[in-house]
């Protein structure tokens, strides 16, 4: 499994526009081959701080996703909407299990 975590900080005056782009990207991505989860979250103390968590079956599925027109549109819009560069980290997960405390 591939886990992708991205972080971005919205400009306060462009937050609503950014949210529109994020909703559209998430909706399109959830229908892509190999996608098993795609969600955006905001910080409870800073509503302009966003984190996305994506899960993919394989690196090939993620690479295909990175070449979609929907993602290109989102990435093209980001510079005008964010306070700086987003950070994206990719994790290759060997195994997962429910936490049993």
User: Any idea where the domains of the chain sit in the sequence?
Assistant: 2-92
Q: What is the pLDDT of residue 101?
A: 74
Residue 35, classed as helix, strand or coil, is strand
- Kindly state the percentage of the chain with pLDDT values over 70: 100
How far the first Cα of the chain sits from its last, in Å, is 23
* Cα dihedral value 25, 3, 48, 12, nearest 10: -40
Provide CATH code, domain 2-92.
3.30.70.100
Residues 45-86 pLDDT 10s: 999 999 999 999 999 999 999 999 989 989 999 999 999 999
Q: What is the pLDDT of residue 55?
A: 97
State the residue for tokens 């399109």.
28
* Residues 58, 63: Cα–Cα separation, whole Å: 9
Q: How far is CA 20 from CA 9, 23, 40, 76, in A?
A: 15, 5, 12, 14
């Amino acid at each position: 499994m591939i886990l992708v975590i991205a972080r971005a900080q919205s400009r306060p005056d462009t937050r609503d526009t950014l949210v529109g782009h994020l909703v559209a990207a998430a909706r399109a991505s959830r229908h892509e081959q190999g996608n098993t989860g795609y969600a955006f979250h905001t910080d409870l103390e800073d509503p302009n701080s966003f984190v996305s968590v994506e899960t993919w079956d394989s690196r090939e599925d993620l690479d295909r996703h990175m070449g979609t027109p929907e993602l290109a549109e989102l990435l093209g819009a980001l510079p005008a909407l964010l306070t700086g560069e987003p950070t994206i980290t990719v994790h290759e997960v060997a195994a997962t299990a429910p936490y049993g405390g």
